[in-house]
């Protein structure tokens, strides 16, 4: 099968940042926690490929570790969303029309109704700013998204004859949800996962930018943007590089998500042929 250009581009961009993040565990050109004031604000050269910031930290190393922070926050936040949201959605669908369904879905609506940033500020105001609290704040808002996607997908599967056959075989809601429903909505969840992942990256950058996310000295893209703000006219590169990284990462994930949806959804696949 010939892969569409968009998914190739999306996977390539995602792989690039993921690779950089993984590499940063083993090796970065410079240690990001060591300040070399003598080399501050160096323009890109053979030693510092992307230059240095106002503390003399290597921008390339900062971006690599920043990618790690962003991806870690997004992965855990999506993980929270899936681990909590999917079982809730499956439970709601298994009890469709019942009081448990109502309870779960109306609680979902309640969480949806809160502006996420305000809640994040609340959480950090109570527990103090940290990457962990940023993860929690973003993760909580992933729960209703996954619960709703799961319930919607599961409801259509519940009407099919093979579910009836499973019920005739004496299977109960929980087992049917695990054995029959979940494998058949996995593609929906994968696609939603990539979308939430990119939103998580944006949210982490946003929270770090306003100082509610990862705290110094941990580098993060949002933090780098905030630091570069005062030097935007003198050294624009410091703001542009993390900005481009955020855009490229999110673009890559969105392209990959769209492409995956096209490949995994047979209806769209047929329409394209």
Partner 1 sequence: MIRLENLCLSIHGDQILKDINLDIQPGKVTGLVGESGSGKSMTALAIMQLLPRGSKTQGQVILDGGDMLSTSERDMCAIRGNRIGMIFQEPMTALNPVKSIGDQVMETLLIHTDKSASEARIIAAEKLDRVGLPEDEFPLSRFPHELSGGQRQRVCIAMAIALHPELLIADEPTTALDVTTQAQILDLLKDLIKEEGMSLLLITHDLAVVSGLADHVAVMQKGQIVEQGPTEALFRNMHHPYTRQLFEASSHQPERADKAMPDPILEVRDVMREYTMARTSLFGAPPKFRAVNGVSFTLNHGESLGLVGESGCGKSTLTRAILGLEPLQGGVIRAFGQHVGPGFPNALKSGIQVVFQDPYSSFNPRWRIDRLVAEPFHLMSERPTDWRDQVTSVLHDVGIPADALSRYIHEFSGGQRQRIAIARALILRPELIILDEAVSALDVSIRAQILDLLAGLQKEYGLAYLFISHDLSVVRSVTDRVLVMRAGEIVEQGETEQVFTAPRHAYTKSLINATPVIPSAWKEPPNAKTSLV
| Contacting residues toward partner 1, per CB under 8 A | 160-162, 164-171, 179-180, 183-184, 273
Nearer to partner 1, 115 or 170 (CB): 170
Dihedrals φ, ψ of 28, to 5°? Answer: -130, 155
Nearer to partner 1, 166 or 248 (CB): 166
Dihedrals φ, ψ of 12, to 5°? Answer: -65, -45
Nearer to partner 1, 182 or 195 (CB): 182
Two tokens at 266? 């047979």
74 to 10, 137, 150, 199: CA distances (angstroms): 17, 11, 20, 8
CB of 259 to partner 1, least distance (A): 20
Dihedrals φ, ψ of 58, to 5°? Answer: -70, 125
CB of 168 to partner 1, least distance (A): 5
Helix (H) or strand (E) holding 124: helix 116-127
Helix, strand, coil shares, percent, the chain, to 5:
75, 0, 25
Exposed, middle or buried: residue 271 (CB in 10 Å: 0-12, 13-18, 19+)?
A: exposed
Nearer to partner 1, 97 or 115 (CB): 97
CB of 186 to partner 1, least distance (A): 9
Cβ density class 10-22: b for 16+ within 10 Å, e for less = bbebbeebbebbe
Nearer to partner 1, 164 or 268 (CB): 164
Distance CA 55, CA 65 (A): 16
CB of 272 to partner 1, least distance (A): 9
Dihedrals φ, ψ of 116, to 5°? Answer: -65, -40
Nearer to partner 1, 149 or 185 (CB): 185
Nearer to partner 1, 86 or 225 (CB): 86
CB of 160 to partner 1, least distance (A): 4
* Contact assessment for residue 186 and residue 200, using Cβ atoms and an 8 Å cutoff: no
Residues 6+ apart with CB under 8 A from 169: none
CB of 179 to partner 1, least distance (A): 8
CB of 97 to partner 1, least distance (A): 10
């Amino acid at each position: 099968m010939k892969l569409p250009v968009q998914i190739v581009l999306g996977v390539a961009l995602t792989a690039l940042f993921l690779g950089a993040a993984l590499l940063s565990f083993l090796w970065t050109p410079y240690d990001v926690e060591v300040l070399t004031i003598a080399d501050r604000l160096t323009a890109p050269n053979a030693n510092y490929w992307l230059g240095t910031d106002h503390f003399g930290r290597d921008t390339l190393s900062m971006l690599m570790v920043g990618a790690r922070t962003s991806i870690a926050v997004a992965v855990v936040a999506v993980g929270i969303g899936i681990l909590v949201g999917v079982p809730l959605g499956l439970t709601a669908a298994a009890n469709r029309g019942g009081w448990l369904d109502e309870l779960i879905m109306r609680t979902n609506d309640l969480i949806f109704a809160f502006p996420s940033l305000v809640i994040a500020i609340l959480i950090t105001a109570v527990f103090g700013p940290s990457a962990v609290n940023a993860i929690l704040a973003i993760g909580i808002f992933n729960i209703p998204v996954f619960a709703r996607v799961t319930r919607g997908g599961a409801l259509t599967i519940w009407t099919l004859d093979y579910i009836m056959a499973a019920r005739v075989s004496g299977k109960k809601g929980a087992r049917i949800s695990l054995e029959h429903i979940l494998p058949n909505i996995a593609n929906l969840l994968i696609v939603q996962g990539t979308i939430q992942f990119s939103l998580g990256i944006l949210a982490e950058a946003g929270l770090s930018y306003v100082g509610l996310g990862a705290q110094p000295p941990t580098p993060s893209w949002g933090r780098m943007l905030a630091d570069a703000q005062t030097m935007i006219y003198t050294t624009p590169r410091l703001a542009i590089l993390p900005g481009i990284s955020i855009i490229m990462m999110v673009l890559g994930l969105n392209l990959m998500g769209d492409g995956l949806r096209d490949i995994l959804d047979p209806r769209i696949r047929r329409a394209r042929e």
